Structure 1
Amino acid sequence: MTTSADVASGKGATDENFPVASHLIAARHRPAVMAFYDFVRAADDVADHATLTPDAKLAILDQMEASLLGRTDTEPVARPLRTVLAERKLSPRHALDLLAAFRLDCTKPRTADWADLLHYCSLSAMPVGRYVLDVHGESEATWPASDAVCAALQIINHIQDCGKDFRDLDRVYIPDDALAKAGVPVEALGAPEASPALRGLLRDLAQRTMLLLDDGAVLPSQVRDFRLSLETAIIIGLARRLTTTLETHDPLSQKVHHSKAAFAGIAVISALGAAAGRLVRPAHRPTTATRHS
């Protein structure tokens, strides 16, 4: 029987664009966050495997769900998360949503429009933020701002990796209607560099992504946990810089990632800004609605 461990990519938390359970997160919460990350990372590796058939991928994802819910124990990576959920009396719904997203990756290689993309993000990205908020005991009223930020992070990854996703997996998250409107054939994603039309399309998507970050900008002030507030501020700061870079760079031919120095600088500035803001405006109950269309 093939398991997720058999097809692991070797990627880990340090390979991600954004911090995962950094030392800003309280020590008592980091194992819970990492248990979720490790489970999701394993499922993502299954969905992105280059040679497994869709049916084989779906079979492993089904095993992972069964193990998470305690019906079997064939997937060891599910055990730490299953334990955390039981100890903290948390629902498995966020992890199950992620599994639903990875099943879509196996069966639905194209994205119709912006609404379709955001629906995918509602399964693939928003549950991550919601889980972290639940672990910290935050109010569900923080979810709309978190959802906007998490959707933006996911779309940033999609834009960065649009060429690789198409070439390696024949998977396209760039909306079909946007490609058609720009007169860009999907095959253009496999080119060594983006055409002017594709550059314009990706720039437009980056600008729409920045609006999501604008919607989520209130999150650090809504979160009651001070350390998590700083973490969310840093993530938003890093996302803004990457989005700005994507507006001017070609992800097909140019590397669009933070340098270590830039990462550190943005992190410090974002954390200090959030800390100063909380001194002036203590954490408050959220009231802001977000634009998801």
Structure 2
Amino acid sequence: MTTASDLRSGKTHRDENFPVASWIIHPRHRALILAFYNFVRTADDIADHATLPPEEKLRYLDLMEAELLGNGDTQQEAVTLRRALAERGMPPRHALDVLVAFRLDVTKLRYENWDDVIDYCRYSAMPVGRFMLDVHGEDTSTWAASDALCAGLQINNHLQDCGKDYRNLNRVYLPRDALAAAGADVEMLGGAKSPPALLKCLQALAVRTEALLEQSKSLAAEVKDFRLGLEISVIQAFADKIVNLLKVRDPLSERVHLSPVELLLQSLGGVAGETARRATGRRPVSKTAAGA
């Protein structure tokens, strides 16, 4: 019998736009975080599978949910996460929310407006940040800034991969109204280079994402756990650098991902900045996540 594990793309936590259970995080949390990541990555790979029929994708996602909740022991990633959560006395709420997003990926190929995209992020991205905060015992008051950061990361990814998503999956996260306002259409995503209208749309969305990321800058200061604060600062640095690339480059024809050197520099800058901030006691003003 084919299991969800057999449908994995081969992508791991080392291939993401942001660190996952990096050396910064305390070792006691890493096994649980990696169990959550592997569950989410497997479900994501199912939803994005190039040849699996939609009904089969939904069946596997349903099976992963059932086994996460304790009904069966055939899907490794679901069982591992279930047991890891049980050891910590944590509910599966955030993993269940993420499954909502992956079902949307199977059934919904277009998004009408910015609010529609943010609603998708409520399930695809925001639960990941909330999970990390819960793992570290942080207060739910940190969720607003976390939601903004996670949504910004998600939309960065949508913009980076807009051509690939369209060509491989006929999936377009760019809002219809944003495309229309720029005089662009989805077929332009199939080209090797963005026409001026599409580039105008993409860069306008990057500017809007930058504003969203501004609302997350208080998060590192809001969390109590020092290591988590450092990790958040690194992630924020990655997100800011990527959105700056997206504001001036064409994701269809130019590099909009960070190089290994850029990743290292942003990591060092994020760690140094947050360490200095905590040493001096400076606290940024907290902001509320727009649209969250």
TM-score normalized by the length of structure 2: 0.97
1:83 aligns with 2:83: yes
Contact 1:237 1:270 in 2 (8 A): yes
- Indicate the residue corresponding to 1:97 in structure 2: 97
AA paired with 2:154? Q
Matches within 5 A, 1:1-293: 1-281=1-281, 288-292=287-291
Identity among equivalent pairs (%): 52
Aligned residues: 292
Separation of aligned partners in 1, 2:36 and 2:46: 16
4+ runs of 1 displaced by more than 4 Å?
none
Per-residue deviation at 1:2? 3.5
Q: Please give the alpha-carbon distance, in whole angstroms, between the structure 1 residues aligned to 2:24 and 2:282.
A: 19
Change (3 A) 1:94 1:291: same
CA distance, structure 2, for counterparts of residue 174 and residue 113 of structure 1? 8
Deviation for aligned residue 1:292:
2.4
SS state of the match for residue 110, structure 1? coil
1:174-199 deviations in Å (ceiling 9; x for gaps): 00111111111110011110011111
Deviation for aligned residue 1:287: 5.2
1:6 offset after TM fit, Å?
A: 2.1
Output the CA distance in 2 between the equivalents of 1:128 and 1:280: 30
**What CA distance in whole angstroms lies between the structure 1 residues aligned with 2:103 and 2:289?**
27
In 1, the alpha carbon distance for the partners of 2:83 and 2:281 equals 37
Q: Is the 8 A contact 2:18 2:235 kept in 1?
A: yes
Work out whether residues 163 and 190 of structure 2, in 8 Å CA contact, stay in contact via their aligned partners in 1: yes
One-letter identity of the residue aligned with 2:266: I
**Distance (whole Å) between structure 2 residues aligned to residue 289 and residue 162 of structure 1:** 28
C-alpha separation between the residues in 2 aligned to 1:48 and 1:288? 34
Pairwise CA distance, 1:27: 0.2
SS in 2 for 1:151: helix
CA contact (8 A) 1:212 1:292 kept: no
Give the AA of the match of 2:249.
H
Give the whole-Å Cα distance in 1 for the aligned partners of 2:244 and 2:142.
25
2:28 aligned counterpart, secondary structure: coil
The alignment's C-alpha RMSD in Å is: 1.4
Structure 2 CA distance, aligned partners of 1:100 and 1:212? Answer: 23
Cα pair 1:110 1:175 within 8 Å, conserved: yes
CA distances 1:101-152 after superposition (whole Å, capped 9, x unpaired): 0000000011111000000000000000000110000111100000000000
8 A Cα contact 1:2 1:60, kept in partner:
no
